[in-house]
Amino acid sequence: MRAVGERLAQAVGDYILRDARVPRALLPTALRALADGQGLARVDLAVEGGRLRAIAPVGRLGAGAVLDLAGRQVWPSFHDLHTHLDKTHTLARAPNADGTLLGAVKAVMADHARWHAAELETRADFALRCAWAHGTAGLRTHVDAAGPQARMSWDVMQALRARWAGRIRLQMVAMAPMDTYLGAQAEAFVRRVAESGGVLGGVTRIPGLPPAAARQRLALALDALFGWAGRYGLDVDLHVDESCEPAADSLREVARAAQAKGVRGYVVCGHCCSLAVQPEAVREQALDLCLEAGLAIVSLPLVNLFLQDRSAGRTPRLRGLAPLHEIAGHGIPVALASDNCGDAFHAYGDYDPLEVLREGVRNGHLDGAAADWSASVTATPARLMRHPARGMLEEGGAADFIVFDARSMPELLARPQSDRIVVRGGRPLAESLPSFAELDCALAEAGHA
C-alpha cells in the first residue's frame, strides 16, 4: 500500500488508475452492470487536472501514466450526516456517571458552563481534522441551541464552516427543545437559523408532562416546526425515539406533521431505535407513514450500542439499532453516521464513517449487501445534505476518492483500513490523523484542559 501511496504522490499531472473495484451504488448507472456477486465493479479511472475525466470498464483507458491498483477498492469521499461537534472531546471533564442516555444528558448539561469559544473551537477543529484524515468531505453537526452557550456555539461553528470550506462542507442543525417552535421567540429563532444557512432540529420528546399531554404538545410543536420549515425553506433533522421502549413512537407524529405541511425530501429522523422493538404490524405501519411523508432515517450504530439497554453490572441484550433491513426494504433512504465521539454519550469514535459502516454491517447483519450499504455513508447522506459532489464517482466531478488495500468487502471490513489513501483533487492528502496529545496541549492553551 505504501508503494501505491508513493506512486500517487509522484503522479505529476494526469494519470489513470487501472483496475479499481468500486461499489456499484457509487458509480454511474451505465457501469453498474459490471458488478460482481458482491456488488463491486472493476473499472479504470482517468484523473485529469484534479478531476475525474473518465470512468470506464477495466482495460478501456490506456493513454498516459498508469497506476495499477490490482483490484483494490476506490470509494468517493465520505459524508457524515449526524455528529455533535459542540459536545465532542468533553469526556475527560464530563464523564457519564451511569453510562445511560439520561446520564449523558445530565453530564453534558452540567458541562455547558465550561463551553467557551476558544476551547470549543479547539475540540471541534480537532474532530474535523480526524474526519478529514479519514476521507470525509461533508459533515453535519447538531448544535445545542438552548442555554447560555447557544449563541456562542453557533458562532464558533459558523467560523469553522468558513475555515473548512473547500475541504469539509460543514452543516449545522439547531438542536432546540421542541417548545422553542411554539414560543413567542420562535420566528426570531427560525430566522436566525435560516439566515446562517442552518437546519431546524430538536428531540421529539416533551419532558415533564404526563404521556397524553406530552403527546398533544409534541403534535403542536411539530406542526409549528414544519410550518416554519415550509415558510423559510429549511431542511429538518430531528432526534427521534432514541429508546428501546416500544411506546416511543413519535416517528409517526413526525411523518404526519411533515406531510400535513408539505415538507418532504430533506427531513431526516435520527436514531428511531424503538422501531426495532415494536410489534411487526406497528413497525410496518410506521414505515409506511415515513415513506408516504418522504422522510429519511439516519441510524447511529456506535452510540446506540453504547447507550441502549444499559444498566450497571448487566450485559445488554438489545442492540438499539434501527431495523435497517426493513427501513431499506420500504424504499426509505437510510444513512449511517458517527453521532457522538469522545463525550458522555459515547466514549469512543473517531469520525470514521468506515468504522460506522463496519459496525452497522456486523451488528445489523448487512453482509449480504455490504457493498450496496456503502451508499449509507456516501451518496445517501450527500444527497440529504444537498452536497453538489453527490458522494459518488462521476465523470467531470472532482477527483476526490479513497483507496483501500482491500479487494473484497470481507477484506475491507476485516481491518480498520488505517493505511487508506485519501485523495482530494487528484492528490493524496499530506495530513494524517492528529494525536490526542495535541488536543490536550491545545485545550491547555485555550485554558480549559
Site string for Zn ion, 290-329 (x = CB under 5 A): ----------------------------------------
For Zn ion, the closer CB: 339 or 372: 339
For Zn ion, the closer CB: 334 or 442: 334
Residues 168 and 138: beta-carbon distance below 8 Å = yes
Cα dist from 201 to 5, 144, 174, 297, 383, whole Å:
41, 9, 5, 14, 18
Cβ at position 284, least distance to Zn ion in Å: 26
For Zn ion, the closer CB: 277 or 302: 302
Q: Which stretch binds Zn ion (CB under 5 A): 116-124, 158-166, 207-215, 334-342?
A: 334-342
Distance CA 422, CA 68 (A): 17
Cβ at position 142, least distance to Zn ion in Å: 6
Cβ at position 438, least distance to Zn ion in Å: 26
Q: Which stretch binds Zn ion (CB under 5 A): 215-223, 289-297, 333-341, 351-359?
A: 333-341
**Which residues make Cβ contacts (< 8 Å) with residue 289, sequence separation at least 6?**
251, 252, 255, 256, 259
For Zn ion, the closer CB: 8 or 131: 131
What is the chain's percent helix, strand, coil content, to nearest 5?
A: 40, 20, 35
Report 99-118 residues binding Zn ion (CB under 5 A): none
Q: What is the DSSP string of 73-130?
A: EEEEPEEEEEE-TTTTT-TTTS--SSSSHHHHHHHHHHHGGG--HHHHHHHHHHHHHH
Q: Which stretch binds Zn ion (CB under 5 A): 190-198, 221-229, 332-340, 385-393?
A: 332-340
Angle in degrees, CA 23, 237, 255, rounded to 5: 95
Cβ at position 230, least distance to Zn ion in Å: 24
Residue count of the chain, please give it: 449
Cβ at position 228, least distance to Zn ion in Å: 21
Strands 401-404 and 421-424: antiparallel
Cβ at position 175, least distance to Zn ion in Å: 8
Q: Which of 121, 242, 253, 355 is catalytic?
A: 242
For Zn ion, the closer CB: 276 or 370: 276
Cβ at position 303, least distance to Zn ion in Å: 7
Q: Which stretch binds Zn ion (CB under 5 A): 66-74, 331-339, 388-396, 406-414?
A: 331-339
Residues 284 and 324: beta-carbon distance below 8 Å = no
For Zn ion, the closer CB: 77 or 338: 338
Q: How big is the site for Zn ion, counted in residues (CB under 5 A)?
A: 1
- Is position 6 annotated as part of the catalytic site? no
- Classify 21 as helix, strand or coil: strand
Residues 108 and 344: beta-carbon distance below 8 Å = yes
Report 352-371 residues binding Zn ion (CB under 5 A): none
Site string for Zn ion, 247-286 (x = CB under 5 A): ----------------------------------------
Q: Which residue has the cell 456517571?
A: 97
Closest chain position to Zn ion (CB): 339
For Zn ion, the closer CB: 241 or 339: 339
Angle in degrees, CA 109, 301, 226, rounded to 5: 65
- Classify 263 as helix, strand or coil: coil
Report 335-354 residues binding Zn ion (CB under 5 A): 339
For Zn ion, the closer CB: 180 or 340: 340
Cα dist from 256 to 14, 57, 73, 154, 221, whole Å:
52, 46, 42, 30, 12
Cβ at position 214, least distance to Zn ion in Å: 21
Residue 57 carries which side chain, given as an amino acid letter? P
Annotated catalytic sites, by residue? 242
Site for Zn ion, rule CB under 5 A: 339
